[in-house]
Amino acid sequence: MENQNERKGMPLLGDSFPEMKVQTTHGMINLPGDYKGKWFVLFSHPADFTPVCTTEFIAFQQRYDKFRVLDAELIGLSVDQVFAHLKWEEWIKDNMNVEIEFPIIADTGAVAETLGLIHPGKGTNTVRAVFIVDPAGKFRIIFYYPQELGRNMDEILRALEGMQVSDKNKVAMPAQWPNNEILKDRVIVPPATDKKAIQDRLARAKSGEIECYDWWLCHKQLKK
């Protein structure tokens, strides 16, 4: 079987984040070790001083407090030298009145190669990838965008919160959660896998603990 640490390219959901020491605008950081016990969102961008990336960094920074409320940290990355990152941060502060507070990795190409971030046909620029990593250092969600499309940071926040709610309550989240067209902010009870579980589910529905359209589609309101 192929060793994950030896495999190059896009990681798989459930893989462990590969251990690496990286240079950032906040100094050297050990990943994932320095974030043990916390969620972190690592996102790559094609290059500093580019229009779409500038709007993205401003959007991430403007939501940084919301990420921290979810006990998650942000980490940027591109194949640019650290002084370019620092100058770009300075430009954003001077011209957009936004101070970037999260670290940005200055990649030599090794990180991008390990994580599969180099876009075929786009030279050495990194694609717009987003990795949501849990407190155990496991990849839980991966988004992968072409260079031409800027990201929706509210969707990244929604995905992060949804995964945390799922882990805590052992439930699944419907489409558009928490604003699903049918279930609103209710969550889905995992489907039954045997006849006994079906009977148990029907009993729970009869008692009002959960509601069901059928035994395989049940939902409930989480306590707030």
CATH architecture of 4-156: 3-Layer(aba) Sandwich (3.40)
Domains of the chain by residue range: 4-156, 170-224
The pTM (predicted TM-score) of the whole model is 0.90
Does residue 212 carry a catalytic annotation? no
Tell me whether the CATH fold assigned to 4-156 matches the one assigned to 170-224.
no
Q: Say if residue 194 is exposed, middle or buried (CB neighbours under 10 Å; 0-12, 13-18, 19+).
A: exposed
Residue 116 clears pLDDT 50, i.e. is over it: yes
The per-residue pLDDT for range 38-59, each reduced to its tens digit, is 999 999 988 899 999 999 999 9
Catalytic residue among 42, 53, 129, 133: 53
CATH architecture of 170-224: 2-Layer Sandwich (3.30)
Q: What is the pLDDT of residue 2?
A: 39
